A = this chain, B = another copy of it.
Amino acid sequence: MPASRLANDATAGTHQAPLRAIDRVRIARDPQRPGTLDYLAELFTNFIELHGDRAFGDDQALIGGVATFNERSVLVLGHQGGANTRENLARNFGMPRPEGFRKSRRLMRHAEKFGLPIVTFIDTSGADPGISSEERGQGTAIAESLLEMVGVRVPIVCVVIGEGGSGGALAISLGDRLLMLENAVYAVASPEACAAILWKDASFAAEAADTMRVTAADLQRFGIIDELILEEVAAHEAPRETVAAVGKRIAFHLDELLNIWDASDPASVDALLDARYARFRNIGAWHEVS
């Protein structure tokens, strides 16, 4: 394990003084933090990656496949960046292009056809903002993935394991459960982008991160996530323990969902979808005057 590059890293655990939001942003982005492939290697067996959107390309920033979890076949989807320059080029720094979202939609339909529960790992700075991604309908591709996910007739457990960046993160996070590691963040825009827009200066990212409320604790308070998974030691310092802890919570929530869901009983599936609909239907902060 390389020495930590974070100044106050020893305080990343929960038993120390709380970190500022921007510190968690840095931890969430630490390249040593376990990624989707690490969770796949540790928690799943019989993984077979399924490639391609069947129309244009195979996006290695958003990977998926079938695997065994707790003796049951599931579909796994997750963002994956690279550990070095070569991998980062191949994986576009974990920023999916339209092909990635179209692959995720294809694989969600696949999961529905074969009754495979879905587990997703969210870890991206966001959808690719390039010219060719716009040409091939980045917005459309994300929207189609969202539409598929809110209606897919199998249980879904999602975990934010690192950085949850905007629409690119949302596209695979509309499950029946949304879990989040303590040092993960999830935001509508990066603190740097927010600072650039509102402060006209990206160096105010720390201030932006504070006011944007991007931490798991904030989102738990808002009721947007279902569970915060503690990092006794920050994940990049204790990757195996973190992965194991996440695995336990996925298993717990998947078991809970599988207790109420039976692919051969349409009423149970409708109940699952009604509950999923209610999840998103009820998120919002507003009041009504007469």
Contacts and interface: CB of A to CB of B under 8 A. Distances in A.
Interface in A46-70: 54-56
Nearest to A140: B54
A56 B141 CA distance: 11
Nearest to A98: B55
Interface of A: 54-56, 98, 102, 136-137, 140-141, 144
A140 B55 CA distance: 8
Contacts of A141: 55
How many identical subunits does the complex contain? Answer: 2
Closest 6 CB pairs of A and B: A55-B55, A54-B140, A56-B136, A56-B56, A55-B137, A54-B137
Contacts of A102: 55
B56 A144 contact: no
A56 B134 CA distance: 10
Nearest to A99: B55
Contacts of A144: 54
Contacts of A54: 137, 140, 144
A132 to B, nearest CB: 11
A58 to B, nearest CB: 12
Contacts of A137: 54-56
Nearest to A144: B54
